[in-house]
Amino acid sequence: MSREPFAVRLAAAGRELGSALCLGLDPTGCRDAAEVERFCATMLEAALPHIVAVKPNLAFFEQHGSEGLRVLERVRGMVPESRLLILDAKRSDIGNTAEAYARALFDVWGADAVTVNPLLGRDAVEPFLARAGTAALILARTSNPSAADFLEAPLQDGRPLYRLIVERALGWSGAAQIGFVVGATSATAIAEVRGLAPAAPLLLPGVGAQGGDLEAAVIAGLDATGGGIIVPVSRGITGAADPRAAAAELCRRIEAVRAVASRS
């Protein structure tokens, strides 16, 4: 099946749905796989009118063993074609092993995009760039405090490591299918990555519970067309008294920034 590039699909879906919001599915407190499934179904149903994408984090399914992964397979079936499925797996391994991970995430579990850890370099990432219409969202500068340990370590020429990651990745074959993960906790890093990669989709986690400033992150991340960003929110929606209202409000705040930015 030939498909438009992921960035084009994201732009089209964003326009049609009027949203750059992504529902993060992090079922943390569930006692068993059945409860995970109910959680996902409930939250999807609530947030669906206001989201462009859904991002399950595989860790919270894996902690229930193979039963948890069966739930992930059923959750895939609950996500309509009109929304993008981002599997947050942060996988990374050498060549033929990375190919197996790519098969699992794209071909078996039906991802439109996946998060990828770039530490092992080019030959570990390129297997995630081999399917038309999909994207590999490469960790650049994550939202956790310890991101400073290595991702911000200064290299010989003064650049932080995350900048080398972005610059190198843009030279790899299949680079048109690359996006980046940049924590909403650092608008400066988002602006820097956007400057280096004007057309790449940016996933901006860390809004809400992790302290990222939604408006600052969106302004820093927008591309020249006023798009190119995905804002995943987990606890800010699923932990709200009214998840649907929370999603609506987050979507509205993002669109308000986009409206102002597109007028300027």
Catalytically annotated residues = 90
Nearer to a copy of itself, 125 or 248 (CB): 125
- Which residues from 6-35 bind a copy of itself, rule CB under 8 A? 26, 28
164 touching a copy of itself, by CB under 8 A: yes
Among 42, 66, 173, 188, binds a copy of itself (CB under 8 A): 66
Q: Is 261 in the site for a copy of itself (CB under 8 A)?
A: no
Q: Minimum CB separation from a copy of itself for residue 125, in Å? A: 8
Count other Cβ atoms within 10 Å, centred on residue 35: 14
Residues touching a copy of itself, count (CB under 8 A): 59
Quote the CA–CA distance of 90 and 116 in Å, as a whole number: 4
Using the minimum distance from each CB to a copy of itself, give the nearer residue, 19 or 134: 134
Options 43, 51, 87, 109; binder of a copy of itself; rule CB under 8 A: 109
Report d(CA 86, CA 233) in Å as an integer.
13
Write the interaction track for a copy of itself spanning residues 220-249; mark x where CB under 8 A is met and - where it is not. ------------------------------
Q: Which residue has tokens 């033929």?
A: 96
Q: How far apart are CA 199 and CA 175, in angstroms?
A: 11
Segment holding 24, helix H or strand E: strand 21-25
Among 64, 131, 163, 194, binds a copy of itself (CB under 8 A): 64
Give the closest residue to 7 by CA, choosing from 217, 218, 198: 198
Work out which of 8, 34, 78, 94 binds a copy of itself, going by CB under 8 A. Answer: 94
153 binds a copy of itself (CB under 8 A): yes
State how far the Cα of 225 lies from the Cα of 258, in Å rounded to an integer: 10
171 contacts a copy of itself (rule: CB under 8 A) = no
Min CB(27)–a copy of itself separation in Å: 9
Out of 77, 96, 224, 263, the only residue in the binding site for a copy of itself (CB under 8 A) is: 96
- Which residues have CB under 8 Å from 224's CB, separation 6+? 198
Could you give the CA distance from residue 242 to residue 250 in angstroms, rounded to a whole number? 12
Counting every residue, how long is the chain? 264
CA atoms within 13 A of residue 156's CA, in its CB half-sphere: 0
The Cβ of residue 85 has, within 10 Å, a number of other Cβ atoms equal to: 21
CB of 79 to a copy of itself, least distance (A): 16
| Nearest of 114, 108, 107 to residue 89 by alpha carbon | 114
Return the closest-CA partner of residue 233 out of 193, 204, 191: 204
Is 45 one of the binding residues for a copy of itself (CB under 8 A)? no
Q: Any idea what DSSP says for residue 38?
A: H
Scanning 38-46, 55-63, 219-227, 245-253 for contacts with a copy of itself by CB under 8 A, the matching segment is 55-63
Which parts of this chain interact with a copy of itself (CB under 8 A)?
26, 28, 57, 59-60, 62-70, 72-73, 90-98, 100-101, 103-104, 108-109, 117-124, 139, 142-151, 153-156, 158, 161, 164-165, 168
